[in-house]
Amino acid sequence: MCQYVFGVVYVRLGDIAKITDYVANGSFASLRENVTYKNEPDYAALIRTTDYSTNFNPDKMVYINEHAYEFLAKSKLFGGEIIINNIGAGVGTTFRCPFLDTKMSLAPNAVMVKTSNDPFYYYWFKSKWGQDAIQKIIGKSAMPKFNKTGLREIIVPMPTREVQDRIVAVLEKFEALCNDISSGLPAEIEARQKQYEYYRDKLLTFTPAEN
């Protein structure tokens, strides 16, 4: 599906992205039989959404052996992929898979998105527009969650690659600046973060496509 709104192309996310998760590798029974979590470093790291909050501290991460890593072939990570928490209180939390000096695989309770321009769509999913789109596909159950099918149906903007890259260049500089003052005064950090979020949402504002 493709729509044009004032020169901006809108597409179904599933048409431009690879979207997968942990359970894409097999039944819950087969996953239990083939995957064992380890608290000490092993063949590969299992990238969890909680690792984002600990800045991927190796001492707090979970690992798997080579057999488990190969069994989880559909959710291998190589660095740079978009990872979105899809269940629980942190549903919608979005980060980029780090480039670690080890093999990596995606843990449960998250969805991996891979596009031709991950930095642009990472910022889009972090923005008000991406977070609003995620909220619309969250189920009505007591536990907030969404699945791969719903995520594939999200309509996303696809401006020209030149525009995408210009937006990414601005936001990466802004993000680096925010990180540089992380040791500053709390009020300064908060103000700079709000400024960054404001300009991020402005840069990623496109005329909405009609459903």
Per-residue pLDDT tens listing for the chain (211 residues): 555 444 689 999 999 999 999 999 999 999 999 999 999 999 999 999 999 989 999 999 999 999 999 999 999 999 999 999 999 989 999 999 999 999 999 999 999 999 999 999 999 999 999 999 999 999 888 899 999 999 999 999 999 999 999 999 999 888 877 766 555 556 666 777 778 788 788 889 886 655 4
Domains of the chain, start order: 2-158 (3.90.220.20)
The residue type of 66 is E
pTM, to two decimals: 0.85
CA angle 77, 157, 178 (to 5 degrees): 65
Give the rounded distance of the alpha carbon of 112 from its chain centre.
6
Q: What is the pLDDT of residue 119?
A: 96
Query: What are the pLDDT digits (tens) for 98-113?
Result: 999 999 999 999 999 9
Distant-in-sequence, close-in-space partners of 51: CB < 8 Å, separation ≥ 6? 57, 60, 61
